[in-house]
Amino acid sequence: MSEPAFEAVRIGIVSISDRASSGVYEDKGLPALQAWLSGALHNPIHFESRLIPDERALIAATLRELIDTAGCHLVLTTGGTGPALRDVTPEATLDVADREMPGFGEQMRQISLRFVPTAILSRQVAVIRGQALIINLPGQPKAIAETLEGLKSADGELLVPGIFAAVPYCIDLIGGPYLETRDEVLKAFRPKSAQRPSAAKPTSA
């Protein structure tokens, strides 16, 4: 019996910042997203990276291009989700949406509230466009990891689930590739009826 193989996946990562995109300071969002995803997934990943300013029309056009042209099934953005006048990432994301997925934003704010009361000012949204999931993430690398992975106690007990545990099954449901997470980072949840034999744990012939 042949062993199951990990499906390749194309993921869009977008850092949205006027100053980083103009070279005022080094962007840290794209490296943080790429490092976390590479460590969390068994799947071979082709990253489509974009660094752009806080311009609503450009953000929306970038999201459309990543999904409609580049063929990404998952797009993660970082930056531009606060209440400042130039923070327009949520609006641009909603501009390209077929459907909203409000649970992601609700859980992100629950995680961030463990650290700062200003988490209630965050406006991250998640949406579906076609067969792709778009999620707005916080701007700080540490907050990106906490949001995706969740919060654990000193002995490794999961205190607050991260949002990425729900991402693979969501992508299953909209017709995307089968994502497999590394259990030591986080364990994705799927109903038993949706689980496939894992390439990470091949069955005997």
Side chain identity at 34, as an amino acid letter? Q
Q: Count of domains in the chain?
A: 1
Q: Is residue 142 part of a domain?
A: yes
Side chain identity at 188, as an amino acid letter? A
Per-residue tokens: 41: 């997934």
Q: Is residue 85 part of a domain?
A: yes
Give me the helix-helix angle, 102-112 and 141-149, nearest 10°: 120
pTM, two decimals, is: 0.93
Range of the domain at 92: 9-194
Which CATH number is 177's domain given?
A: 3.40.980.10
Q: Is residue 72 part of a domain?
A: yes
Mean pLDDT, the chain cut into blocks of 10 residues (205 residues total): 80 96 92 97 98 98 98 98 96 98 95 91 97 96 93 81 96 97 93 88 52
Q: Is residue 177 part of a domain?
A: yes
Q: Is residue 171 part of a domain?
A: yes
Q: Is residue 156 part of a domain?
A: yes
Q: What would the 3-class secondary structure string for 57-117 be?
A: HHHHHHHHHHHHHCCCCEEEEECCCCCCCCCCHHHHHHHCCCEECHHHHHHHHHHHCCCCH
Q: Is residue 80 part of a domain?
A: yes
Task: Write down the pLDDT at residue 182.
Answer: 95
Q: Is residue 205 part of a domain?
A: no
Summarised one tens digit per residue, pLDDT across range 158-198 is: 888 899 999 999 999 999 999 999 998 999 999 999 999 88
